[in-house]
Structure 1
């Protein structure tokens, strides 16, 4: 795969720095082209956009084709989870885990397990979430900033669902600390900020919540992350409602609706449409 990426880059007249863009580094692209780096799903998507190639075009031999299949499976599983099609999503994740094991790709194994943890969390299987997170912790990539960030986000969401906002806030702060080492994933930064804000609400720390949400919305707008900007606005509307600012809350919800209209984030759209006081903002992290 590295050779094909290098050839395509040269065909387009791009340097390694050009290909890296602001999200990655020249050193990382060099390692990738030399076969010394195992690209994550996010990396493959980014390279596909930069090189105007589909995942299958970047794949060639059997091992690379497995990575292409893995990427597609995990994408499909995420879409199924958004549509609340739990059983098909679970089957896709389990198949992805099998292929990741055959391909000896810890990155994809971790991605599949993180999706499984989210699936179990949404189903209320809290003990199973713990077991999955422990399984991820055994993988070498668990110490990487991206995986560590996503694990901390899941731990924060789990604490919220268990009614422990203080532990949730601590987990989201850990995620925020990890994500500083992962500047190429602004969506994770936004999620950590929203998580801290959501955990701050039951603690009565409304100023903290507002500050984090404003930062999240600014970053989301900068990177065209409209779904996450919409989610932040829904949480901000809840803060305004609790503080007795009904008109302000309505304005935030209107803006959230506009942001979410261009996305396929159906869970967030559903929360935005619920009556005041019935929104489960802990599910928006």
Structure 2
């Protein structure tokens, strides 16, 4: 038998529907069953078979599912269709509209006790919140989705786990984000649960935190695994996301042409899917690639395109992060006043709990601009703020560079002991990148 309510609930439903239609127990029972059977059923003292329920449903003029579960006919199918529409809405960049659609679906799923629909709606709401920068709300949605999926196999729960990890990452909690992603990868690989979609989603998601923590070797390995898994995955959006993440690793290794090619593949897939947030992120990363290669005019074009796309869809957190990258390019193009104004505008949208790594990057760049203008006091203030943000986030690679900048500033002002302390702190973070903050690498998939 399929999913259905308890006998007492079904019995009361049958009695209510029979009375509403003016039928006697005999009229409902004929010709297959007896009035006594209907009486026993309505009293909740017998669990009716599917055949009995189909007979009664036909006599009452209702669908079998409605009689067995209390849900209107085709409810689940209709909800899934609406879920697909909400997913499409989110994919085309209308996060606020998608949030309204998912919220309505969540309310209906809660009312009818449909855990699968409820979990999918919560995942959608979490993605909407990530898009608009509501990190705390996103985390709550992903946590609730995990609870709804608690009894299901791990591969089914991976999107919720990954969403929670990303929300911690964007909040600046890099180590915990890596812990969540790595422990889930370990459980999948050691347990023989080699689901390509789940593994690719996790490997693509862990690249960013690895890079920010200075664990470049692990980021490169995760990228290799993701690339090896890509041919086994049917979801083009997932493959496109993977290409965008892999580009960060290629960039760190100085493979600019390959990074650009990887981003071009992702951009083409996203154009086909009309996923504007991710497409904007591709422009963002391409701008970063061009900036690293010294092609500053092209970098500015790509970053402005990303910023325009993200601002149009009110993706506040991502817009602020792109603005920091753009400000760096503007500064390098000798437009420091414009860069400084842009940074001060976005700092109001960033904090230690929301975009900590990019908030630190903004303060770091403002410190450099202040140094250029011979304002050592302001420069030191910005560097110290950046240092505090990065220490909280555990971004080892960025910390080492920042300590060098702060140490140089302190040394030039004659504060040698303070400069030495800053250098020592930086050297501590440069020791064996990835090993001082991370445990053993997760188990590998059988590729």
Per the TM superposition, whether the score is higher than 0.5 is yes
Q: 1:255 is paired with a residue of what secondary structure?
A: helix
Q: For the Cα contact (< 8 Å) 2:310–2:316, is it kept in 1?
A: no
Q: For the Cα contact (< 8 Å) 1:217–1:229, is it kept in 2?
A: yes
Q: 2:401 is paired with a residue of what secondary structure?
A: helix
Q: 1:24 is paired with a residue of what secondary structure?
A: helix
Larger mean Cα displacement after TM superposition, 91-100 or 153-162: 153-162
Once the two structures are superposed, the pairs formed by residues 90-239 of structure 1 within 5 Å of their partners are: 90-139=260-309, 142=312, 143-180=314-351, 183-239=353-409
Alpha-carbon deviation of 1:86?
A: 0.6
In structure 2, the partner of 1:36 is: none
Whole-angstrom CA distance in 2 between matches of 1:78 and 1:161:
21
Whole-angstrom CA distance in 2 between matches of 1:252 and 1:26:
36
Q: For the Cα contact (< 8 Å) 1:67–1:103, is it kept in 2?
A: yes
Alpha-carbon deviation of 1:158?
A: 1.3
Structure 1 residues 224 and 202, CA, compared in 2 at 3 Å: closer, same or farther? same
Whole-angstrom CA distance in 2 between matches of 1:45 and 1:255:
23
In structure 2, the partner of 1:56 is: 197
Q: 2:344 is paired with a residue of what secondary structure?
A: helix
Structure 1 residues 140 and 23, CA, compared in 2 at 3 Å: closer, same or farther? closer
Q: For the Cα contact (< 8 Å) 1:114–1:150, is it kept in 2?
A: no
Q: For the Cα contact (< 8 Å) 2:138–2:167, is it kept in 1?
A: no
Q: For the Cα contact (< 8 Å) 1:73–1:96, is it kept in 2?
A: yes
Whole-angstrom CA distance in 2 between matches of 1:41 and 1:136:
24
Structure 1 residues 231 and 77, CA, compared in 2 at 3 Å: closer, same or farther? same
In structure 2, the partner of 1:29 is: 141
Alpha-carbon deviation of 1:188?
A: 1.4
Q: For the Cα contact (< 8 Å) 1:146–1:178, is it kept in 2?
A: yes
Alpha-carbon deviation of 1:49?
A: 5.9
Alpha-carbon deviation of 1:226?
A: 2.0
Whole-angstrom CA distance in 2 between matches of 1:136 and 1:127:
14
Alpha-carbon deviation of 1:224?
A: 1.8
Q: For the Cα contact (< 8 Å) 1:152–1:174, is it kept in 2?
A: no
Structure 1 unpaired stretches of 5+: 10-15, 34-38, 265-285
What RMSD in Å do the two structures reach over aligned CA positions?
A: 4.1
Which has the greater radius of gyration? 2
Alpha-carbon deviation of 1:85?
A: 0.8
**Number of positions where the alignment pairs a residue of Structure 1 with one of Structure 2:** 248
Alpha-carbon deviation of 1:248?
A: 3.7
> Would you say 1:263 and 2:433 are equivalent positions?
yes
Q: For the Cα contact (< 8 Å) 2:320–2:349, is it kept in 1?
A: yes
Once the two structures are superposed, the pairs formed by residues 11-22 of structure 1 within 5 Å of their partners are: none
